[in-house]
Structures are given as structure tokens and as C-alpha cells.
Amino acid sequence: MTQAIVVVGAALLDGDRLLAARRSAPPELAGRWELPGGKVEPGERPEDALVRELREELGVEAEVVERVPGEWPLKSPYVLHVWTARLRPGSPAPAALQDHDALRWLTPDELWHVDWLDQDVPAVRETANRLGSGAHPGIG
């Protein structure tokens, strides 16, 4: 059995708003929205990978808060783990994008106004429950 490779995602929060990032690559994902993040490097703690990925992808400094319960399968052998995080005081607004062409801060009422990647929907739903905004429309 192949060892799962962890991909970290950030539920980056600003008050009750969640940051969504629109993919620009690869072509099969372009135009869909995700929680920013990336692969954990060998020997790296997932929390450290999350901070690194946010710095590399968005040009921001973030502080990891807590793990969102759950593990979501991606394309084998990858699995998604999500943490809530917040911008560090004095961190610039997200600007320097890599693999994304747009960012949006979504209020609880706006969470489902974007076309999330299928694999991110359960993590967003779990984060939404923690924000008190309820589940994805039509999903129990």
C-alpha cells in the first residue's frame, strides 16, 4: 500500500470571512476555487508547510490556529488536511499569486457563490459549520 502524501489547505479567516483562491493552472482546474495550500515536503510538519505555502502562493505571513476535523482524498496518493489560519498582524494583503488568478474574501452567506473544487467542498463545509454558516445547500 502506498503511503499517503499530505496536502495542506488553509481555511484562512478574517473575522467570519474565508479566503478562496481561483486556480489558473493546471487547465483542468482553472477557473475553480480552492482553499490555498500545497504539498508537505519530506521531513516538514504540516503546520510549517501551510505557513510556507501561504508565503509562496499568496505572499502573506499567517499563523496556524487549529486543525479542521477530517481527511479528504485527492488524486492518489494525496490526502487533504485543512487548518484554520489567520493573517499575522502587519502581513500584507494577499497579492503575489502563484497558480491563482483571483482571491475573494467570502462571508458565510457567500461561501457557495463560487465553484469550489470538488475535493475542497467537504473541507469548506466543515469550516462553514465552524463559522456557524451551515452546510452546503442540498447536502445534509
| Structural domains of the chain, ranges and CATH numbers in brackets | 5-131 (3.90.79.10)
| pLDDT above 50 (res 140) | no
Identify whether the C-beta of residue 80 lies closer than 8 Å to the C-beta of residue 120: yes
What is residue 133's predicted lDDT score, i.e. its pLDDT? 47
What is residue 132's predicted lDDT score, i.e. its pLDDT? 59
Angle at 45 between CA 97 and CA 23, to 5 degrees: 25
| pLDDT above 70 (res 69) | yes
- pLDDT level of residue 56 (50, 70, 90 thresholds): confident
102-127 burial, b for 16+ CB within 10 Å, e for fewer?
A: ebebbeeeebbebebbebbebbbbbb
What's the pTM value of the predicted model, to 2 decimals? 0.85
- pLDDT above 70: percentage of residues in the chain: 89
Q: What pairing do the DSSP bridges indicate for beta strands 17-23 and 33-34?
A: antiparallel
What is residue 130's predicted lDDT score, i.e. its pLDDT? 76
What is residue 99's predicted lDDT score, i.e. its pLDDT? 79
